[in-house]
């Protein structure tokens, strides 16, 4: 009997708003079903992709008898950490050369955000973090659980389907001095709307003048433009001014290492001495949480990043993924235009990165899932990486029917 259980009063929790979409998709038996929920790259054939260069690195690791399975240090694989900092801050970054960056290997982007947030909750004087509206749904949960208090700043303007730059400047301008600000480094999720470099420069000046602390979430480096350096440019301008910041990196998307859970947290400090004390405290955050990070994924990344040929091969494969997404944007836009679907759909080709924030409302989303077996998050976000030339017509029909019916 249920009532005999000591857990009898546990109520059923709702599915996760993003990962729950995949759960629902998996239960659907329709041959036409299409999962545009989670941001996971698919090939033109709709299949998950393991990069050739990743296979190569794994082969290399398997053949290398010196590879062992000992515990890593609490901060992770040293090579991986160094190379990850170089990847985001640039090979010639003065902050790296001056040894004032500490980088610790964490459990992908999520784990890096969580470790960074717990460190801030313990050691930073301002416990408020500002996140954009909207943002990735896990952000407020991660920061709240780490002990930070979450406030929002305006970001997206539904009327223009672009950036509410004025609102952003007003809200950050009104934030208390020293507050933490979460910034999507590129390819903003879910909106696909990024500031221009000129706007980034204004944001940087405002934040530095008020002493706001930037915390970059870099989950899509290389996925916005297809170029790793171009996508890291906003972060690099914040480091170039000599100020401090945090950055959480994920290799889930750009190396397709989703399930390996490989990422890094870097904290750029004013001096080498501060950086080394910060690192000593990061170890105290990590040790009781999961002790030390897993070795395999980080070894794959380090193998690729330190070998010139493999690195180049990676950039080519990464660009191919970014290009396929960009071509999906064009194909979907062209198909909706050809069909004469009511409304302006130009945001599909203007937005950047993995997602299109379609503007479809929750009623239209429910309809498309029920009638067309197309799965997406209820805010109308679709993963362009889940689309292919073959499925564009089906999605076009569904959007057309949804906006005609519930316009």
Strands 128-133 and 101-107: unpaired
> And the tokens for 357?
């924030």
Stretch that binds ligand PLA, among 48-56, 102-110, 156-164, 290-298 (CB under 6 A): 102-110
Among 39, 195, 226, 297, which residue sits at the site for ligand PLA (rule: CB under 6 A)?
39
* Minimum CB distance to ligand PLA, residue 383 (Å): 7
The yes-or-no answer on residue 334 being catalytic is no
Taking a C-beta distance cutoff of 8 angstroms, is the pair 302, 260 a contact? no
Count of residues engaged in binding ligand PLA, rule: CB under 6 A: 15
Q: What are phi and psi of 40, to 5 degrees?
A: -130, 130
Pick between residue 261 and residue 329 the one whose CB is nearest to ligand PLA.
Answer: 261
- Residues between 128 and 167 that touch ligand PLA (CB under 6 A): 136, 138
Residues 6+ apart with CB under 8 A from 72: 105, 292, 293, 294, 295, 298
Alpha-carbon 231 to chain mean position: 12
Residue 109 interacts with ligand PLA (CB under 6 A): yes or no: yes
Residue 103 interacts with ligand PLA (CB under 6 A): yes or no: no
Taking a C-beta distance cutoff of 8 angstroms, is the pair 101, 268 a contact? yes
Pick between residue 194 and residue 217 the one whose CB is nearest to ligand PLA.
Answer: 217
Q: Which of 205, 217, 215, 146 is nearest to 179 (CA)?
A: 215
Residue 358 interacts with ligand PLA (CB under 6 A): yes or no: no
Stretch that binds ligand PLA, among 107-115, 159-167, 207-215, 324-332 (CB under 6 A): 107-115
Alpha-carbon 223 to chain mean position: 10
The yes-or-no answer on residue 136 being catalytic is yes
Residue 263 interacts with ligand PLA (CB under 6 A): yes or no: yes
Taking a C-beta distance cutoff of 8 angstroms, is the pair 335, 176 a contact? no
The yes-or-no answer on residue 217 being catalytic is yes
Please report the beta strands in 318-378, taking only residues with DSSP state E, as ranges in sequence order.
355-357, 374-375
Residue 217 interacts with ligand PLA (CB under 6 A): yes or no: yes
- Give residues in contact with ligand PLA (CB under 6 A): 18, 38-39, 108-110, 136, 138, 184, 189, 217, 219, 250, 252, 263
Show which residues are catalytic: 136, 217, 253
């Amino acid at each position: 009997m249920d009532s005999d259980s000591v857990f009898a009063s546990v109520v059923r929790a709702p599915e996760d708003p993003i990962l729950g979409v995949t759960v629902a998709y998996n239960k659907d038996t329709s041959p036409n079903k299409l999962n545009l929920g989670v941001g996971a790259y698919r090939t033109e054939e709709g299949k998950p992709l393991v990069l050739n260069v990743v296979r190569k690195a794994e082969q290399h690791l398997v053949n290398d008898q010196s590879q062992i399975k000992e515990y890593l240090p609490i901060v992770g694989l040293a090579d991986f950490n160094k190379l990850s900092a170089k990847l985001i801050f640039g090979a010639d970054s003065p902050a790296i050369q001056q040894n004032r960056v500490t980088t610790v290997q964490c459990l992908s982007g999520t784990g890096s955000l969580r470790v960074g947030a717990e460190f801030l909750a313990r050691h930073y004087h301002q416990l408020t973090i500002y996140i954009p509206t909207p943002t990735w749904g896990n952000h407020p949960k991660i920061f709240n659980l780490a002990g930070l208090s979450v406030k929002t700043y305006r970001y997206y303007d539904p009327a223009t389907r672009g950036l509410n730059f004025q609102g952003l400047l007003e809200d950050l301008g009104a934030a208390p001095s020293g507050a933490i600000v979460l910034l999507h480094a590129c390819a903003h999720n879910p909106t696909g709307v990024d500031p221009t470099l000129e706007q980034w420069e204004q944001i940087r000046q405002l934040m530095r003048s008020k002493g706001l602390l930037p915390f970059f979430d870099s989950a899509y480096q290389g996925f916005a433009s297809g170029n790793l350096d171009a996508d890291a440019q906003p972060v690099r301008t914040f480091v170039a001014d000599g100020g401090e910041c945090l950055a959480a990196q994920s290799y889930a998307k750009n190396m397709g290492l989703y399930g390996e859970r490989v990422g890094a947290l870097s904290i750029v400090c004013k001096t080498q001495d501060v950086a080394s004390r910060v690192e000593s405290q990061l170890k105290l955050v990590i040790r009781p949480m999961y002790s030390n990070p897993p070795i395999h994924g980080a070894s794959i990344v380090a193998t690729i990043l330190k070998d010139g040929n493999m690195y180049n091969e990676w950039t080519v494969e990464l660009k191919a993924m970014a290009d396929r997404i960009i071509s999906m944007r064009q194909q979907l836009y062209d198909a909706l235009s050809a069909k004469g679907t009511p409304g302006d759909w130009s945001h599909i080709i203007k937005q950047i990165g993995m997602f299109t924030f379609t503007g479809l409302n929750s009623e239209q989303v429910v309809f498309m899932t029920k009638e067309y077996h197309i799965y997406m998050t209820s805010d109308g976000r679709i993963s362009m990486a889940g689309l292919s030339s073959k499925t564009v017509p089906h999605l076009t029909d569904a959007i057309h029917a949804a906006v005609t019916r519930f316009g």
